[in-house]
Structure 1
Amino acid sequence: MNIRQIETFLAVAESGSFRRAAELLHRSQSVVSVHVQQLEEDLGVPLLERTTRRVSLTPEGRTFLLRCKGVMADLKEVAQQLREESILRRGRVSIGAAPSVSTHRLPPIIAAYQRLYPGVTLELHEAFAKGMYNDVLERVTDFAIGPRVSGLKDFDIQPIIRDPIVAVLPNSIALNTGSTVTLKRIAREPQLSMPRGTAIRETVERAFQDAGFDFSPRFEVMHQQTLFSLIEAGLGVTLLPFMSVPPDRKGQYHVAVLKDPAITREICLITLKGKKLSPAASTCAEMIASELQSQFKQSSQLQRRGSKT
C-alpha cells in the first residue's frame, strides 16, 4: 500500500464514481482504476463492487474506509505541524510593546523564545499606547503587548493580565499602613510623572481630578528609569503600573498598593482585525502572554495583601 493508492480509494469511495474521483485528483480514469486494483491485490480482499451504473463499498471496503479516513486526517495534521515547525526555523517577528512592558518583563521572555527558535529574527518596537496601536495598524509590527485603549475598531484585543497601579515612594516616607497607601496620602507629596500623552499620565490625572486633588508634577520625564532615580534622590513620589517596577529592585524606594481608590489597567495582546499571524508570530505572542500571566501571580498576591490591610 502507498499513500497515493489510499488517497485514490478514498476519492472513489466518497464520490461513488471512478470518473468523478479522476476529476477531483486530476488523474486519468485508467490510473484511478489501476490504483484501486493494486490496493485490493495488496489487501487480498475486494473493496468496491462495480456495476455499469454505480460503485459501492463491500463490507471490507466500509471497514477500510473508516480506518483510512482517520489515518489520513492524522497524516495531514502531522504534515501541517512539521510545516509550521519548519517555518519556525526561520522567519521574522516584529513585536510592539509599551515601555512599561518592554523595560523589565519582556526581555527574559524574548531571550527564552530566541533560545527555542534561533532562526527567527525578532524586532522590538517600543512606543507609548497611541504609537503602539498605530504601528499595528500600519503593519510595522505583527502584534503588540500593552494597555487597552477604548474606542478603537480596527483591532482584536485579547486581555492577558490586570496590572495594578502602585505608588513608588522614597524610603524617607514612612507608611503606617504597610503595603498600601491612599491617593489622599500620595497627593500630599511632590509628584513625579511621565509626560502628557502617555496612558499612565492620563490615568493618574483622571484619578486626581475625580478625587478632587490638584495634580501639578514637580518633574515630568520621558523615561521611567529617570523617575526611579528621582525617587531615590528623595524628590517626590509617583504612581506607575506595577509592571513598570523592577522585579529585583534594590534602591532607596519602596512600593505600596494604591487604595481608595484602587486602580488597575488591562494589559492585552493587540492584533489587527482580520489578520492571521504567521506560525512564528503566533507562537511568540502565545509565549509572551503565558509568561506574563505566570510572572503576575506575584502581582495578584500583592493586590490580595493590600485588600486585607
Structure 2
Amino acid sequence: MPISLRQLEAFVAVCNEGNFSKAAQRIHISQSGLSILVRELEQSLDCRLFDRSTRQVSLTEAGREFRGPAARLLADLSTAVGNVRGLASRQHGHVTVAAPPLLMSRLVIGMAARFRQAYPHIALTLRDIPSEAIPAGIAGAEIDLGIGALPEDHGEYLVEPLLEGPLMALLPAAHPLARRRSLKWADIAGVPLVTLTPENTFRLSLDRSFARLGLQPDIAVEAAQLGTVISLVEAGFGAAVLPPYGALLPGGGSAVARRLEEPEVRSEIVMIRDRFRSPSAAAESFIEVARAMSAQLADRLPEGTPRRRASPRGSFVRRAAAG
C-alpha cells in the first residue's frame, strides 16, 4: 500500500500533540479518520509507530526513527509549494532561528533587526534555547537555522562558521588582573571563578581545558545561564571564562574582558541547518543577513575578540565549545 502525504501529516500531528484527539483537531479531521490514517501508515511500514494506552500515546523505536524524515518531508513540501506561490520573491514566508540566550541577545537580535528592515513581510520566530537543544529542533523541522556552538554530531548537519576567536576572561573592573591586556590560564585559575553548571556543554569543555593544563580552578559560584554568570562577575562575585561572543557588546563598565593565552583556546560560532532539507527563500534571506553582519562585525572588533571565519576550517592550538 503506497504511503500518502495525508498519512504522514496525521503521523506528525500525533507526534507533535502526543494525543490523537488534539492531533485530529490540528489537521481538521475526525479522530476516527486520523486513527485510520495512522493504522494504514503502520500497515504500509509493517510496524507499529505508537504505543497506545487509555492515558497516553508514546512513540515506539520505529516511530522515533520515522519522525524526523517524515517531518522534513512535509516541511520540504510546504517550502516548495510556498516558493511556487511567490516565496521566491522574498516578500512573504516564515523562518525560525534559534540561539542560546546570551548569543541571542548579543548577536542574533541585531541580525533579526536588520532582517526585519530588509524583509518586513517575512515572519520571523526567534527561540532562545541552549546550543545542545538546537540540533534536535532542526532534525524535527521545528527550527530552520541555529546559531551557536558546533554540535558534537556536526556531520549530520550543514555547518557554516560565522565567527571565531579565543576564550576570554571576564573580571570586575576593579580587579587587579583587569589592568593587564591579556591573561594566562594559570592567572585565572588562581582567583575565585563564576561558572556555568557542570552539565552545560561549555562548562564541560572548560573543565577539560583546565584539566589538560594541570590546573585546579577555584569555583566560587555556579549558574545555569551565561547571562547570569556575567551579572555575577559585574556584581563582584568573581571572574569568569567566556566564549568569544561574551565580549561582543560592551557592558556598563563594571566588568572587562581580557584574552586568555598560554595556551590560546579558540571557540567558534556556527550557523547550523538541516543537511537534507533545502532552505526556504525566507531562510536564505536570513542566511545572507547573518553572513553579511558577521563579516562587518569581525572587521570592527578589536584585537583578541571574535573574527569572521571562512571555510575550510583552519587548525588552532585547542578548540572549545561555544556555549
Normalising to structure 1: TM-score of the pair?
Answer: 0.67
TM-aligned CA deviation for residue 246 of structure 1: 5.3
**Match for residue 251 of structure 2 among 249, 252, 256:** 249
Q: Which residue number corresponds to residue 158 of structure 2?
A: 156
Q: Which residue number corresponds to residue 222 of structure 1?
A: 224
Q: Which residue number corresponds to residue 234 of structure 1?
A: 236
1:294 and 2:293 matched: no
Q: Which residue number corresponds to residue 94 of structure 1?
A: 96
Alignment of 1:275-286 (within 5 A): 275-286=277-288
Q: 1:302 to 1:216 in 2, by over 3 A?
A: closer
Aligned partners of 2:133 and 2:233: how far apart in 1?
28
Q: Are the equivalent residues in 2 in contact too, given 1:242–1:299 (CA < 8 A)? A: no
Aligned partners of 1:194 and 1:252: how far apart in 2?
20
Q: Residue type matched to 2:151 in 1?
A: V
Q: Are the equivalent residues in 1 in contact too, given 2:157–2:272 (CA < 8 A)? A: yes
Aligned partners of 1:101 and 1:289: how far apart in 2?
15
Q: Which residue number corresponds to residue 51 of structure 2?
A: none
TM-aligned CA deviation for residue 289 of structure 1: 2.3
Aligned partners of 1:293 and 1:264: how far apart in 2?
18
Please list every run of 5 or more consecutive structure 2 residues that lacks an aligned counterpart in the other structure. Answer: 1-82, 307-323
1:104 and 2:92 matched: no
Q: Secondary structure at the match of 2:160?
A: strand
Q: Secondary structure at the match of 1:274?
A: coil
Aligned partners of 1:282 and 1:126: how far apart in 2?
20
Cα RMSD of the aligned pairs, angstroms, is 2.4
Q: Are the equivalent residues in 1 in contact too, given 2:165–2:305 (CA < 8 A)? A: no
Q: Are the equivalent residues in 2 in contact too, given 1:128–1:199 (CA < 8 A)? A: no
Q: 1:272 to 1:82 in 2, by over 3 A?
A: closer
Aligned partners of 1:109 and 1:278: how far apart in 2?
18
Aligned partners of 2:173 and 2:197: how far apart in 1?
24
Q: Secondary structure at the match of 1:90?
A: coil
TM-aligned CA deviation for residue 229 of structure 1: 2.2
Q: Are the equivalent residues in 1 in contact too, given 2:171–2:177 (CA < 8 A)? A: no
Q: 1:183 to 1:118 in 2, by over 3 A?
A: same
Aligned partners of 1:286 and 1:196: how far apart in 2?
35
Please list every run of 5 or more consecutive structure 1 residues that lacks an aligned counterpart in the other structure. Answer: 1-79, 305-309
**Match for residue 140 of structure 2 among 122, 138, 141:** 138
TM-aligned CA deviation for residue 278 of structure 1: 0.5
Q: Which residue number corresponds to residue 55 of structure 1?
A: none
Aligned partners of 1:273 and 1:280: how far apart in 2?
17
Q: Which residue number corresponds to residue 60 of structure 1?
A: none
Q: Percent identity, please.
A: 21
Q: Are the equivalent residues in 2 in contact too, given 1:163–1:299 (CA < 8 A)? A: no
Q: Are the equivalent residues in 2 in contact too, given 1:129–1:198 (CA < 8 A)? A: no
Q: 1:298 to 1:183 in 2, by over 3 A?
A: farther
**Match for residue 116 of structure 1 among 114, 118, 129:** 118
**Match for residue 262 of structure 1 among 261, 264, 267:** 264
Q: Are the equivalent residues in 2 in contact too, given 1:164–1:299 (CA < 8 A)? A: no
Aligned partners of 1:290 and 1:244: how far apart in 2?
20
Q: 1:156 to 1:176 in 2, by over 3 A?
A: closer
Q: 1:300 to 1:81 in 2, by over 3 A?
A: farther
Q: 1:99 to 1:164 in 2, by over 3 A?
A: farther
Aligned partners of 2:196 and 2:291: how far apart in 1?
26
Q: Residue type matched to 1:188 in 2?
A: G
1:203 and 2:205 matched: yes
Q: Which residue number corresponds to residue 127 of structure 1?
A: 129
Q: Are the equivalent residues in 2 in contact too, given 1:170–1:231 (CA < 8 A)? A: yes
Aligned partners of 2:179 and 2:261: how far apart in 1?
11
Q: Which residue number corresponds to residue 321 of structure 2?
A: none
Normalising to structure 2: TM-score of the pair?
Answer: 0.64
TM-aligned CA deviation for residue 216 of structure 1: 4.9
TM-aligned CA deviation for residue 175 of structure 1: 3.1
Q: Are the equivalent residues in 2 in contact too, given 1:167–1:239 (CA < 8 A)? A: yes
Q: Are the equivalent residues in 2 in contact too, given 1:129–1:147 (CA < 8 A)? A: yes
Q: Residue type matched to 1:203 in 2?
A: S
Aligned partners of 1:228 and 1:153: how far apart in 2?
32
